[in-house]
């Protein structure tokens, strides 16, 4: 079995550090995309609630005042 020199260890550690940086960047991108998705989801939910309330108010108004 061959012994690894400190130079070999340094190269391997350098490669691992590079891989970790790439993984960190990817995770940050995923986090940003999930945050954006959450914001859009909330906006759509508010629209849905607004439409439901407007529909309910229209139905109640017609039943009370429309005849």
Q: pTM of the entire structure? A: 0.60
Give the DSSP H/E element, type plus range, for residue 2. Answer: none
Q: Which of 43, 47, 44, 49 is nearest to 57 (CA)?
A: 49
Average pLDDT over residues 16-22: 98
For the CA atoms of the chain, what is the radius of gyration? 29
Using DSSP, state whether 21 is helix, strand or coil: helix
Q: What is the pLDDT of residues 41-60, one digit of tens each?
A: 999 999 999 999 999 999 99
Average pLDDT over residues 37-42: 93
Q: Which of 30, 27, 8, 7 is nearest to 19 (CA)?
A: 27
């Amino acid at each position: 079995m061959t012994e690894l020199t400190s130079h070999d260890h340094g190269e391997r550690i350098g490669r691992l550090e590079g891989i970790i940086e790439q993984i960190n960047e990817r995770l940050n991108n995923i986090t940003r995309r999930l945050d954006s998705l959450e914001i859009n989801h909330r906006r759509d939910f508010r629209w849905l609630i607004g439409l439901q309330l407007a529909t309910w108010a229209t139905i109640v108004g017609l039943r009370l005042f429309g005849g």
